[in-house]
Structure 1
Amino acid sequence: MSNTLTHPELAALIQARAGVVIDPVDLERPGASFDEFGVDSLGLLGVVGELENRHGVKVTNGAESAKTPAEFLELVNSAFTAKAGA
C-alpha cells in the first residue's frame, strides 16, 4: 500500500463514504472545489475516518474542512509522510 493518497483513491472513497460519484480527472482540475461536486464536510469526515481506520494514521485536524481536493490531498499526504518518518 502506498503512503500517498491519489486522486482515483480519493474519488473511490468519496463515492463509498459520501455517495458522490466523481471522475478522478475532475478532482485533478486546478481550481476544483468540493462544493461543485456536492461533497460537504460531513462527507469528507467520513473519508477522513475511513483513511484513519485503513492506515492507522491520525489525519490532520481540519482535513474535513478542506475546500479543494488539492488541499485535502496535501493535508492527508502530509499526515502519511509524517507517520512514515516517525
Structure 2
Amino acid sequence: MTTEMTQVTVEELATLMKKAAGVTVDPHDLERRVDTPFAEFGLDSLGLLGIVGELENRHGRALPTDAERCKSPRQFLDLVNGAFTTGA
C-alpha cells in the first residue's frame, strides 16, 4: 500500500455513490451541482456511511466522524481531502 494519499475527486465520489449506495449520478452533473444536498441526488445518510466505509478501507485509515454527516458533495470532498492532506 502506498503512503501517498490522493485527493478524492468528483468522479471518484460519483463511482462510490453507485458502488456503495446504488445511486447513479453523472460525474459532470455532480460537479456542476457540487453544493446541492446529497438528498437531491437520492443519497441518504446510510449511503454516505457506506461511502465513508469504502474510503476508509481503500486508504487504510479512519475518516473524521463528521464525514458521514456532510450535506453536500463539496462539504464531503473538502472534509475528506482535508483529512487525507493533514493526516487527521
**TM-score (normalizing by structure 2):** 0.86
Q: Which residue of 2 aligns with 1:33?
A: 37
SS of aligned partner of 2:35: coil
Extract unaligned runs of 5+ from structure 2. none
CA-CA distance at 1:30 after TM superposition: 4.7
Preserved contact between residue 18 and residue 39 of structure 1 (Cα < 8 Å)? yes
Q: Which amino acid aligns with 2:46?
A: L
Preserved contact between residue 7 and residue 81 of structure 2 (Cα < 8 Å)? yes
Preserved contact between residue 66 and residue 72 of structure 1 (Cα < 8 Å)? yes
Q: How many residues matched? A: 84
Encode CA deviations 1:48-79: one digit per residue, 9 max, x unaligned. 00000100121111111111000000111011
Match of 1:15 among 2, 13, 18: 18
CA distance in 2, matches of 1:53, 1:66: 19
Extract unaligned runs of 5+ from structure 1. none
Q: Pairwise CA RMSD of aligned residues?
A: 1.6
Percent of aligned positions with the same letter in both sequences? 56
